[in-house]
Structure 1
């Protein structure tokens, strides 16, 4: 299972000194957005060589809350639908399970947003036009950024921590929205979750990292993409958070793929990709957003 997620969701790692030419995209590999325990936290940056639209989309490199590295020049094709439409893409890695918890992964990706926003001019992006997307655990982290971010701490010693971690649009594929039903002591926990060290948590711990708990009217516009036949992350996760978004008057939409499970293939994958791009074009393509 771990290898399957690594193949599905692994992507990219980062440092401004290494720039690669991928034809129509410039790649900045292994850009360091923070440190912990003496280690660097990194992302890769994919910038359209021509006609960038000034908006940024972060991709959460996460599956099962594992975060793996792939040579960025090999991963670049994954982001073509976005870079071809002028978006700069940041493939963000977080502290990986089993060493680091889900809560620590959430803190890492919040840090990445603060860093990217702080350096928006250097990246050639608008700090008010930052989106995020991810699949499975990456979708969960995307939802956490959309629902549970903050304006920054003005009293923080680190200037990065004074910057907002809010995002302006979210696309979440097959995303867990309520980890309380996945916790070890959850009455109806699926046995498949025993395979994921990150989910060795209790309901109280799970509540603190459940996007459903944090939904409020100021959340980012969110597109949910889910398979009705998903046996790992049942579609109720997407349906339930959609209902919460609608109750809070958050711009949101759910596209259900009737025959899809936890992965999309063929026409479903194409439709999902087109819907993702359209969502970001609608909500990020022009400078009319409210975030700082």
Structure 2
């Protein structure tokens, strides 16, 4: 199992070290396909010339697909023209600045062209744009299906965005595109020219702020596609990470809306042999805590993490799997063991759920402090801890604790779910026995009604947002029947969630 786990996460030292980057460049993984969008008064061939100085940086990792604005053949030259009145004849405004009456003439044609291009020339892994093409890149992200399932309003799928000297659209009719938060939750790289007199640095920074996982690189030049060493390094690091994630997804192992690596200067320093940390989950009134174990060997950059919920039939949080977090740290990742509410602490649902969700939010919110990549966090649960893990993974906002100051700010959903002989259902096959005793311990009472039990039976709550899952059990398990795992696997497959 550990070999499988490590293959999913890529040990942190490899992920960020120079050696790891070189190795990634030699992989047989298919190159990234990037759709390239030119600027105002530009064309695909002009953009090729503008980006030529970056060819040696881009070509090892990416295939660039250049296209022309759909009306270029009619002597047009922009993806749209900003006008103030419907009958305006002035077509020399790319729409950097605007007012309440601004309209982007030609947007409907451009939008249809993008959808057609993705259908006929795709798939694309990412989109790159310069100037007005950078602004179009931002709008293209707004057309992206954040969950990977295209709809008429969000018909495009891709995984990252790169823009040089872009800006936020000023047509009021297009502003709602930026409100699609899931669409903008993807790795993005933004290159800002501090001397840009055409698209001010503030405009490009404003576009970057629309993205959840943005990296901003500045250079001293103007309205150009810069090729300084800093820009080249940032682009290389960004593409290396995107290529590795594409390779993982191609193996069907993991779906990650993962964050691109930060520039080297901003990465976490070397972590070696840090003393384990024991941290309370709540400021008062609870003994629930988590213990964070770090690798003993030196690691560079951000590491993967595995949060562990041990078993114990909800009578104790110290059952099977109690030593898993420390063992995970020995494998080169950060392991976190969670002490959650059980009958042994005179607590029951919903406190056990609140403790579990709080632990995930805390780990993600303190990722920089722990040296963790916040988008490579797995959740591992054993037996009853597997029930709790599946519950959080399928319903990360089931209970909204007023005491959790991270609620609504940080996601409790893991990026990967790992279950060992898990208790899943409080409905299927419910009756006397060890796992029925777990049900009583969970609720703190006997004979909970079926509607209550169904609400916390995860086979009923799997959807497309459930993370990829690795699960194991045995058919001779007399404590938790293997059917629990089997019905969960069936639900995952029905929702097209990768499962092994």
Structure 2: tracts of 5 or more residues without a match: 1-271
Task: Tell me which of 306, 311, 315 is aligned to 1:57.
Answer: 306
Give the match's secondary structure for 1:144: helix
Q: How does 1:257-268 map to 2 (within 5 A)?
A: none
- Quick check: 2:278–2:289 contact (8 Å CA) kept in 1? yes
2:433 matches 1:191: yes
Task: Tell me which of 322, 332, 347 is aligned to 1:100.
Answer: 347
2:423 matches 1:173: no
Q: Distance in 2 between matches of 1:181 and 1:152?
A: 23
Give the match's secondary structure for 2:360: helix
Residue-by-residue CA offset, 1:35-73 (whole Å, 9 max, x unaligned): 46x224211110013244611100113310133469xxx
2:245 matches 1:26: no
Q: Against the structure 1 CA distance between its residues 152 and 164, is the aligned structure 2 distance closer, same or farther, given a 3 Å change threshold?
A: farther
- Quick check: 1:27–1:44 contact (8 Å CA) kept in 2? no
Q: Which has the larger radius of gyration?
A: 2
Match of 1:224 in 2: 471
2:384 matches 1:137: yes
Q: Distance in 2 between matches of 1:150 and 1:194?
A: 25
Q: How does 1:136-155 map to 2 (within 5 A)?
A: 136-150=383-397
Q: Distance in 2 between matches of 1:207 and 1:167?
A: 22
Q: Distance in 2 between matches of 1:45 and 1:159?
A: 21
Superposition CA RMSD, Å:
2.7
Q: Against the structure 1 CA distance between its residues 151 and 101, is the aligned structure 2 distance closer, same or farther, given a 3 Å change threshold?
A: closer
Aligned length: 217
- Quick check: 2:313–2:437 contact (8 Å CA) kept in 1? no
Structure 1: tracts of 5 or more residues without a match: 1-23, 254-292
- Quick check: 1:146–1:167 contact (8 Å CA) kept in 2? yes
Match of 1:66 in 2: 315
Q: Distance in 2 between matches of 1:174 and 1:235?
A: 7
2:353 matches 1:83: no
Q: Distance in 1 between matches of 2:469 and 2:385?
A: 14
Q: Distance in 2 between matches of 1:157 and 1:192?
A: 32
Give the match's secondary structure for 1:129: strand
- Quick check: 1:152–1:165 contact (8 Å CA) kept in 2? no
Give the match's secondary structure for 2:276: strand
1:119, CA displacement in angstroms?
A: 0.9
Task: Name the structure with the higher strand share.
Answer: 1
1:198, CA displacement in angstroms?
A: 1.2
Larger RCO: Structure 1 or Structure 2 (Cα < 8 Å, ≥ 6 residues apart)?
Answer: 1
State the TM-score, normalized to the length of structure 1: 0.66
Q: Distance in 1 between matches of 2:487 and 2:451?
A: 19
Q: Distance in 1 between matches of 2:341 and 2:398?
A: 23
Q: Against the structure 1 CA distance between its residues 143 and 68, is the aligned structure 2 distance closer, same or farther, given a 3 Å change threshold?
A: closer
